[in-house]
Structure 1
Amino acid sequence: MKQIISTIAICMLIAAGAGAQNDKWFDKNGKILPQYLDEETGLLADEFLPDAHEFTSMEEALAVPERVIKLNLSNQELTEFPPEVFMFPHIQVLDLQQNKITEIPSKISELPTLQYLTLNSNEISTVAPEIGALKNLLMLDLEQNRLVSLPDEISGLENLLDLVLGENDLERLPKQISGMSRLSNFVVPKNHLKALPSDIGYLMELQSIDISDNEIAELPSSVGELQALMIFDAHNNKIATLPDEICKLSQLPYLNLSNNGIKTLPKGFGKMGFLQMLDLSKNNIQTLPSSIGEMKMMQDFNVSQNKLTSVPKTIVNWTFVSNISIAGNKISKLPEFGMMQNLRELYIDSNEITVLPKSISQLVSLEKFSAGGNKIEVLPADFGKLVNLMSLNLANNSIGDLPKSMQRMQQLQELNISNNALTDFPPYFSGVTSLTDLDLSDNKFSEDKRNSLRSTYPNAKL
């Protein structure tokens, strides 16, 4: 008995200490002092919220319920939304992630002060319509649950900034979701969505949207109204065509449309002039519009694994680009890349290229160049000007000789020239101490030459 009383006393002392940390926010009547209030919401202002004590046990919190602002009960094997939470009149942050909760109850409406609700990694299949009453809610995280649908009333979360719904079983989104006019971050990957609400364009403050890994067949034309958008990720869907209106996203820096079924791009695609990262890989695109060269802010461009036979010459206008991948197409000729002085990585593997452009030797910033699986027979005489190359892949071509200028490539770490037509290989690479991965296999070396190379390059693959 004494042991039990002692334990209770200790818990009360701990709780009292924790509550004392929050005392500075409150007056003697348990109300938040005016100087700490957000004038608009009447809650503890955001600037003070990080300093509020985070309660991590229900016992601790129940000892001083009027002082509870932040409560973290994550990873505690909870099977239901804890009813004691409704005893905390000032709670603003509630973290219940990594439990076994199955539903959000209707009593959720009795938490009007709640701003941040984290419920990811539970077993939630039902969200009560009353959730729409949380007018102060700024962030709702329901990732990794068992949701099939959401109540229409969720649109009542008029101040919500972040909505995270990834890794559920959602098949549709409520049309009313477009009423969340302040929504800034919408994350709903790895669901079973077939479409987006047609009026999603009303989310005028949306800055980031992730709809990747769904079953979306088309994008509504209203996406062109999302003028605040900074990140648009729609990879791994079933999108076959893009609406012309997407070209209105002239301030969008990041667009990922990889692994869809896109066949053509809008003619005005180049109007998206602020794009810095564009991923169109793993589609069925046959041609790129010449207007793509107008994307002069481009830094990272990936159009690998499509059905392209050429690349527009206009891309030479991309003076800021650092990474280009056009691998896995049917391209036979490349534009003169020489003006791209900031290009660091270039991937042209698995095409039908027979000759490298003369100006390729002007890419003095190039660090990785992969041209395997083409039909290249001769390298430019001044290829060795690429003195900053660290990784060079020329495998599976028909190269019979290497230019002497390559002895200048003293930064090489990886060199793969396997499956070519080499009968000789220069000794000067033996002095490149950084070269740790050398593949010379499947060439046309004589047995004597092979033995000689083993002596010079003992770690090489022959």
Structure 2
Amino acid sequence: MAETAVFHLLAKLAPFLQGEVNLLSGVREAMEDIRDEFERMSAFLRVADAKEESDPQLKVWVKQVRDAAYDTEDVLDKFKLHLAHHHGDGFGGFLRKVFYLAKTLKARHQIAFEIQRIKSRVINISEGHKRYHDKYGILEQGSRSNVVNNSWYDYRGDALLLEEAKLVGIEMPKRQLMEWLVQGGSGLKAISVVGMGGLGKTTLVKKVYDAAAVKKHFNSHAWLTVSESFGVEDLLKDMIQQLFREIMQPVPVGVETMSINRLKCLANDFLQQRRYVVVFDDVWNVNAWEAIKYVLPNNNCGSRVILTTRFTHIASTCCEETNGHVYDLMPLSQEESWTLFCNKTFRGNLCPPNLKQISLRILKRCEGLPLAIVVISGVLATKDRSRIDEWEMLYRSLGAELEGNDKLKSMKKALSLSYNDLPHYLKICFLYLSIFPEDQKMWSERIIRLWTAEGFVNAIEGKTIEEVAKGYLDELFNRSLIQVAKRYRDGRPSHFCIHDLMREIIVSKAREQNIVTTICRQGSRRPEKVRRLLIRSTSDNVEYSERSSQLRSLFVWGPMDSLPIASLRELFSRSSRLLNVLDFECTPLDTIPNEVFKLIHLRYLGLRNTKVKMVPKLIGKLEKLETLDLIGTYVTELPDEILHLQKLRNLLSYYLKSRITYFEFGDIRGIKAPSQIGSLQSLQVLVMIEVDQRSEGGVSIVKELGRLTQLRELSIRNLRREDGVTLCSSIEKLSNLRRLDIISTKEDEILDLQSLSLVPQFLNRLNLTGRLEKFPHMIPSLHGLVALYLRWSKLRDDPLQSLQELPNLAQLLLEQAYEGEGLCFTAGGFQRLKYLHLHKLKGLRWVRVEEGAMPHLQDLTIRNSELMEEVPSGIEHLTNLQTFELCEMSDKLISKLDREVQDEDYRNTAHIPQVRIWYREHDQWKVKFL
């Protein structure tokens, strides 16, 4: 990580020394000397970063380099903050410059002194570099060439990212676990899967849990991640939310404030008459089981509990009481290990003959641990297959790291090896992820915005900074350092997670290298100088200290009872002149402190799900702001001063008026913006802008959108029919648009899109909410379209004929979008469709699926179409259908699916793993699994 700090500093020094900055005599030369010394040391730092754990003296030297780089960066930033002002042109500008130079003479002398002091310090550190250079025999030129080459991801396609690693060795344990789950009597039984970290316990159990036969066998399902520092209250709340969400019932009022005993009673009552399966993943102590076991009723319904744990005694204790089963998960066999190794290293191809022997030697050191194999394979997959010496070098390091009997420790070292192999610009990005809590699913787009705000992402010609950052994220996926947790409908990862063992490593390294400081309790030890501070509870000590004077990022994350605003104001006013990131997500903040608007270097301001009601005019002072996140706040309007933010790239704001199952017209609210919004030329994401039809500015905003030529995502609400021509004209100018959401001003207001002729070629998601007099003629030409949502369109003509040839359409939602009696999916149509949702089609009486239509459909949902009395004709042709869901449909249709009657409709749906029937009973949603 010293390597990262040095390269980050060198990137800052270059433009600084090239610019015409007024420096006192000797300062420029001193800074050039500092640059030269760091450049000489940088060639050795990659090797030093990797070896410091095994060499205490080297570790001290690396820390000295890192601290010196940080301190030099701080001096540069202070200079830019205090001295680099613009004075204007002409004689007046000259006088202001003379006056300013005289006024700041003392500050410049102080900075000059600090520069000279750092120069002496860096030279002394450099002497130590020479000793280690001789010791390890590193050739500077060769090492540096490997470090700075950052073109690795340019020739990697998305295929590697979307490709799932082939699972091996789970067939037999999966079969056994499923047998224990669905057989073995009506009593409650606990099943424990036990084994060391990295054996794939969670992966195995998740495959069993998600199996169609298991989903169909049980009425209720819950997956709870326990982890080492579990909280009983949070565990119970999570269980209750999952159970009620599954049957689409609102969580009982007051759950958030209930006592533990009341939560236990609520969960127990819910499960009394249900056949349930509950997974407790990653149980670290018996207390977790003791705290939760009485919640689970033995109701003689054949319910099951599954636990994963690393400890044998926990597994046996949990199973003894229910006469359950313990499954000892074993390492992969040599054959299975080789299969997994080749799948990941060579993408399923055969191992080249010249690499087979070294591959087998490397694989032997992994000792059958799937996680270790996957991670090491991820490293090898990036190596040149013609350079066997690189593979040999990795083997030599790995051999030393994996020796010994402590398998968990060996695993961590194997994972650390993949971290050490990262380029310097990825190391800090990866360590930065340690700010997120254990087991949290991280949103990819949020991480990309934070990385760019922190200055971690290098500019590359021909790419936006976000595209480069996405390349960084892709590489972390490709190296198996992070795992996909959730995907968009088109298969792209939307959320990711980090294996808990890997997270232990990066949390430790981030703390040690002063990347992130987390305060979890009063009196927590803090480093000498805090650069990024994370506060997670009301009781955290946020009082100002000199150690916070170089603070770059502050995260205050809820939920909290209250916010210590006075302490935060002190922190802002004293220590945050250099702050780049400020995030208050989910805290009870209701007013943005005025001190925030003095943070002139702020690039990211996160207020998501706070109680903030207004953005003051002072927002205009944050001229470097790139992301303003107002999602879930009560802000309804932005001041004109927002137009001063010429570097703003992401403006995010919408509010859901109610957390309901079904989307109703008017449930989402946007934000009113100044009529000259088009002057924000850097905007890439604008969600969600609301047209103010009460003023002349509304028309102006629709026209102004055409000036935002960098836009990639646009959501606009409150449109009238007469806005259509202007809107189409604006959309035609947005050639970079990927996602477009348009919502009319009221349910029966027509969206006029007929004049749209030049369609953005990259558009892949389209959401139209409002009446369509005619089906938009441009939609069939959207060959890149992946998801289409039509709501309240009220079309009279069947839209399917216009959509069936779209080559990439994966998701289609028709909600009050069609008023006809029937829909026919003709043979050969919708070849890529996976998700089809038909909601509130009040006139719909029949649906027909011809053989050869929708061959890849996985999910079919029909809701609130009461005139339908038969299951879709031809549903038996949908051989890949996994879920068929009916909600508030006619009694006649539902009766035809009765298992006891087993008429033709029932037989035609027998191949579908999950058939769910939703209905209302006493104003509550109920679900029936067939």
Please say whether Structure 1 and Structure 2 have the same fold, judged by a TM-score greater than 0.5. Answer: yes
Deviation per CA, 1:285-336: give whole Å up to 9, x if none.
4455332343232222234585242142328613222122224x34443312
Determine the structure 2 residue equivalent to 1:141: 555
Q: 1:233 maps to which residue? A: 652
Contact 2:638/2:674, CA 8 A, preserved across alignment: yes
| Superposition deviation, residue 216 in structure 1 | 2.1
Aligned position for 1:190 = 609
- Residues 127 and 232 of structure 1: CA distance in aligned 2, closer, same or farther (over 3 Å): farther
Distance (whole Å) between structure 1 residues aligned to residue 893 and residue 610 of structure 2: 54
**761, 776, 780: which one aligns with 1:335:** 776
Q: Please report how far the alpha carbon of residue 232 of structure 1 lies from its aligned counterpart in structure 2 after TM superposition.
A: 1.8
The answer to whether residue 767 in structure 2 is matched with residue 319 in structure 1 is no
Give the Å deviation of 1:219. Answer: 0.7
Partner SS state of residue 385, structure 1: coil
Residue number in structure 2 paired with 1:302: 741
Alignment partner of 1:442 is 2:881: no
Shift of the alpha carbon at 1:269? 1.9
Change (3 A) 1:126 1:345: same
CA distance in 2, matches of 1:114, 1:427: 65
SS at 2:533 equivalent: strand
1 or 2 for the larger relative contact order (CA 8 Å, sep ≥6)?
2
Taking structure 2 as the reference length, the TM-score comes to 0.36
Counterpart for residue 452 of structure 1: 904
Q: How does 1:414-429 map to 2 (within 5 A)?
A: 414-416=859-861, 419=865, 428-429=874-875
**Equivalent pair of 1:99/1:122 in contact (CA under 8 Å):** no
Amino acid at match of 1:178: F
CA distance in 2, matches of 1:227, 1:175: 21
Q: Tell me, what secondary structure is at the counterpart of 2:804?
A: helix
CA distance in 1, matches of 2:844, 2:63: 78
Counterpart of 2:687 (choices 244, 247, 256) is 256
1:333 touches 1:353 (CA, 8 Å); kept in 2?
yes
**Secondary structure at 1:118 match in 2:** strand
Alpha-carbon offset, residue 351 of structure 1: 3.6
Alpha carbons of structure 1 residues 380 and 430: separation in structure 2 relative to 1, 3 Å: closer
Partner of 2:465: none
- Number of residues of Structure 1 aligned to a counterpart in Structure 2: 392
C-alpha distance in structure 2 between counterparts of 1:448 and 1:152, whole Å: 69
Deviation at 1:363, TM superposition (A): 1.6
| 2:607 paired with 1:151 | no
Structure with a larger share of its residues in helix? 2
Deviation at 1:199, TM superposition (A): 3.7
CA distance in 2, matches of 1:40, 1:461: 60
Is the 1:235–1:256 contact (alpha carbons within 8 Å) kept by the matching residues of 2? yes
The residue correspondences of 1:276-291 to structure 2 (distance < 5 A) are: 276-280=712-716, 284-286=718-720, 289-290=727-728, 291=730
1:178 and 2:623 are equivalent in the alignment = no
- Tell me, yes or no, if structure 1 residue 114 matches structure 2 residue 553: no
Cα distance, 1:245–1:201 mapped onto 2, change above 3 Å: farther
CA 1:352 to 1:154, structure 2 compared with 1: closer, same or farther past 3 Å?
same
SS of the residue corresponding to residue 651 of structure 2 reads strand
Query: Which amino acid in the other structure matches residue 456 of structure 1?
Result: N
Gaps of 5+ in 1: 1-16, 51-89, 103-107
Question: Deviation string for 1:6-32 (max 9, x for gaps)?
Answer: xxxxxxxxxxx99867522578xxx98
CA distance in 1, matches of 2:675, 2:855: 48
Aligned-residue offset at 1:272: 1.9
Q: CA deviation at 1:218?
A: 1.8
Match of 1:273 in 2: 709
C-alpha distance in structure 1 between counterparts of 2:521 and 2:894, whole Å: 66
Q: Is the 8 A contact 1:148 1:171 kept in 2?
A: no
Residue in structure 2 matched with residue 433 of structure 1 by the alignment:
879
Once the two structures are superposed, the pairs formed by residues 31-42 of structure 1 within 5 Å of their partners are: 38=72, 41=75
Range with greater deviation from structure 2 (18-27 or 342-351)? 18-27
Secondary structure in 1 matching 2:655 = coil
Structure 2: runs of 5 or more not aligned: 1-53, 76-113, 123-423, 429-511, 657-668, 918-930
1:203-222 aligned at under 5 Å gives the runs 203-222=622-641
Contact 1:219 1:243 (C-alpha < 8 Å) held by counterparts? yes
- Bigger drift between 284-293 and 191-200 goes to 284-293
SS in 2 for 1:23: helix
The alpha-carbon deviation at position 429 of structure 1 amounts to: 3.8
Deviation at 1:342, TM superposition (A): 0.9
Whole-angstrom CA distance in 1 between matches of 2:644 and 2:528: 32
Q: Which residue of 1 aligns with 2:155?
A: none
Cross-structure match for 2:832: 388
Tell me: CA distance 1:205–1:365, structure 2 relative to 1, closer, same or farther (3 Å): same
CA distance in 1 between counterparts of 2:587 and 2:67 reads 41
Q: TM-score, normalised by structure 1?
A: 0.68
Match of 1:99 in 2: 521
CA distance in 2, matches of 1:18, 1:122: 40
- 1:127-174 C-alpha deviation (Å, 9 max, x unpaired): 55x78x954221122233514465388255221111122333333334
Task: Report the 3-state secondary structure (helix = DSSP H, G, I; strand = E; otherwise coil) of the residue aligned with 1:232.
Answer: strand
Deviation of residue 445 (structure 1)?
7.6
Q: 1:53-132, aligned counterparts within 5 Å?
A: 95-99=517-521, 113-123=529-539
Distance 2:61 2:691 in 1: 58
Say which SS state the counterpart of residue 257 (structure 1) adopts.
Answer: strand
CA distance in 1, matches of 2:750, 2:517: 53
Distance 1:428-1:226 versus aligned 2 partners, 3 A rule:
same
Measured in 2, the distance between the counterparts of 1:425 and 1:165 equals 49
Aligned partners of 1:254, 1:226: CA distance in 2, in Å?
A: 14
Residues 237-268 of structure 1, C-alpha deviations (whole Å, 9 max, x = no match): 9766321232222332222228x796556131
Distance 1:409 1:143, change over 3 A: closer
Deviations 1:338-379 (A, max 9, x none): 110011111113442222455323322111112143313354
- For residue 375 of structure 1, the aligned residue among 819, 827, 831 is 819
SS at match of 1:160: coil
> What RMSD over aligned residues (CA atoms) do the two structures have, in Å?
4.6
CA contact (8 A) 1:152 1:175 kept: no
- Give % identity: 16
Q: Secondary structure at the match of 1:151?
A: helix
User: Residue 178 of structure 1 aligns to a residue in which SS?
Assistant: helix
Q: Distance in 1 between matches of 2:537 and 2:585?
A: 10
Match of 2:802 in 1: 359
| Structure 2 SS opposite 1:141 | strand
